[in-house]
Amino acid sequence: MAPQAGCATLLQAGDPPPFTVLNPLGRAKVLLICDHASRAVPKALNSLGLNEADLAKHVGWDIGAAALTQELSRRWDAPAILSSYSRLVVDCNRVLGEPTSMPAVSDGIAVPANQNMTDEQAAARAAECYWPYHAAVTAALDRFAAAGVAPAVISMHSFTPRMNEADRPWHVGVLWDQDPRLPVPLIANLARLHGLTVGDNEPYSARDPHGFTLRHHVMPRGLPNVLLEMRQDEVATDEGVLRYADFLETAFAPILADPALYRPAMYL
């Protein structure tokens, strides 16, 4: 079936809500967010014209990221917010209007429903799948602020082990811009405690203006933050998720135990 040309209301009965909140009353001074948690597509978009095999690839979502977010939320008793729709519907970590926010082609895979979209179609995706997720992130941070807490914010992602015909050797990528409070000791701990090959702003750089969520919500509040990228072949199974949860739990433990971490600080 071809993708539907357009609809005034995108989400229908039976579609998931645009975001999921886990453990909203968690006691940890940590907020976990997962921008690319799902490969789901609203029924009205008819799988974007793609088959399930393509949606299940890295172009459709961040493989393993949601499961790892859920496990850390449980272990840390931390709230977590997860997006509910494929990054091909709308990428919640991009500025709306950028070509990659609703890509016509992703890593060589053409996305039929994203070809020649109307402004109305793009606006419906933003209104129903993008902004509600971001409103949930804002609400969670406002709850922390009302309690007088400046939480550590950890953005959970994963990356394909091979892209553009190049292998990517890192087990974990630690992405950060100016604030060193979480990333610098985390890079050292992951390498020292677990022997991982850690990318410092690899395979992507947080100093490029592509990421939206941390820049929009977190950096203006001066909150300690980091974006993590796990290599997908490492976290594609339940066993891999548990292994990396162990790695992250022990690597973060001394960092998150420092009371001085939880103070707003602006880095320019």
pLDDT of res. 9: 83
Closest to 17 in 3D by CA, of 117, 80, 104, 85: 85
| pLDDT tens per residue, range 215-255 | 999 999 999 999 999 999 999 999 999 999 999 999 999 99
pTM, to two decimals? 0.94
Contact 102, 89 (CB under 8 A): yes
User: What are the two backbone dihedrals, phi and then psi, of residue 114, each rounded to the nearest 5 degrees?
Assistant: -95, 5
Would you call 107 exposed, middle or buried from its count of C-beta atoms within 10 A (0-12, 13-18, 19+)? Answer: exposed
Per residue in 180-209, pLDDT (tens digit) is: 999 999 999 999 999 999 999 999 898 887
Per the CB < 8 A criterion, the answer to whether 97 and 65 are in contact is no
Domains detected in the chain: 19-259 (3.40.630.40)
- pLDDT above 90 coverage of the chain, percent: 91
Is the separation of the CB atoms in 137 and 143 below 8 Å? no
Alpha helices for 84-180 (secondary structure H): 119-125, 131-146
85-118 tens-digit pLDDT: 999 999 999 999 999 999 999 999 999 999 999 9
Q: Give mean pLDDT, residues 76-92.
A: 98
